[in-house]
Amino acid sequence: MNRLWVVVVLVIALLLGGIIFVSLKKGKIGVGGHSSPAPVSQAANLLALAKELQEKGNLQEAKVTYQKLINDFPNAPEVMDWQRRVEEINIKLIFSPTVEFHSTFYTVQPADTLTKIAKEFNTTVELIKKINSLADDRIFPGKRLKVCNAKFNIIVYKRQNILILKADDEIIKTYTVATGRNSSTPAGNFKIVNKLINPTWFKAGAVVPSGSPENVLGTRWLGFDIAGYGIHGTNDPQGIGKQITDGCIRMTNPDVEELYSIVSLGTQVTVMD
């Protein structure tokens, strides 16, 4: 009987020893019984590094670090904030005069104009000027310009009231927008065929000039290849995020001005329910 108890005790001891060994090997229990660093601590360390890199101007490294946070901790409550930071960096990289991001460097040739260069690279004059801090359209042979050469496209999700700007399949930025009441914003694939700064609003029985508080189009218009529809600014920023328009996609004026400077004529727009 005593021998039986000895055997039982030895078996239990071996089992406990095996469990402890496996736990130590997996890193679940550290020396002295302390837990190894939790995922929360790992995320906090990565976040601190990303913020430090961003503050120092190392934008590409900061972006990679934020993306690692998103990939490693996709269920973290802060994941939307991390994505927002990535998108902020994306816009800064696009407008950066030095860092190559969906861009190339071009040396101005004789007879070049900004319009000609913009058309060649499928970009906009506004974006070239903003990137290179040009006060006007004058350029001279030999000048080196950073030129965006990305293929941008836009996706609008009506139910979520969001507009996503993409470049070569990468999400650049997500904007909150207003869409049509009663699903009046048409779904489908469209192209931007005209662009206007400070557009006049032609409504039934009246012409509302730009700058008027009654002009619902705001400061920019990007028209689709379907009459009467497009993306525009607003005179009522409180309505952004709601389904309240007559069918157009409405943005805040700062957002639509940013988008206007980035996307060129012919840009594909996909509107989804």
Q: Look over the chain and give the mean of its residue pLDDT values, rounded to a whole number.
A: 89
Answer whether residue 43 shows pLDDT above 80: yes
Rounded Cα distance, 250 and 263, in Å: 16
pLDDT in the model for residue 205? 81
Residue 32 has pLDDT above 90, yes or no: no
Q: What value does the mean pLDDT take over residues 33-50? A: 76
Fold match, 103-148 / 152-272: no
pLDDT at 17: 53
pLDDT of residue 11: 45
- Pairing of the two strands 170-176 and 201-203: unpaired
Q: Which of 34, 102, 148, 232 is catalytic?
A: 232
pLDDT of 204 reads 81
pLDDT tens readout for residues 232-248: 999 999 999 999 999 99
C-alpha–C-alpha distance, residues 7 and 58, integer Å: 63
Domain boundaries, given as residue ranges, for the chain: 39-95, 103-148, 152-272
Segment 166-191, tens digit of pLDDT: 999 899 999 999 999 999 999 999 99
> The tokens 């600014």 sit on which residue?
233
pLDDT tens across 201-216, in order? 998 888 999 999 999 9
**Are the C-beta atoms of 150 and 127 separated by less than 8 Å?**
no
- Higher-pLDDT residue of 4 and 180 is 180
Contact 86, 120 (CB under 8 A): no
Domain 152-272, second-level architecture: Beta Barrel (2.40)
- 40 Ramachandran zone, left/alpha/beta (phi>0; psi -120 to 50): alpha
- With pLDDT > 90 as the criterion, what percentage of the chain qualifies? 81
Provide the pLDDT confidence category of residue 260 given band limits of 50, 70 and 90.
very high
Which pLDDT score is estimated for 37?
53
Specify the CATH architecture of the domain 103-148. Answer: Roll (3.10)
pLDDT digits (tens, 9 = 90+) for 136-151: 999 999 999 999 999 9
DSSP-derived secondary structure letter, 181: G
Active site includes 232?
A: yes
Q: Is 34 a catalytic residue?
A: no
Residue type for position 231:
I
Number of Cβ within 10 Å of residue 30's Cβ equals: 12
If phi > 0 it is left, if psi is from -120 to 50 it is alpha, else beta; for residue 266 that is left
Q: From its phi and psi, is residue 175 left (phi > 0), alpha (psi between -120 and 50) or beta?
A: beta
Amino acid identity, position 107: T
Q: How far apart (Å, rounded) are the C-alpha atoms in residues 86 and 88?
A: 5
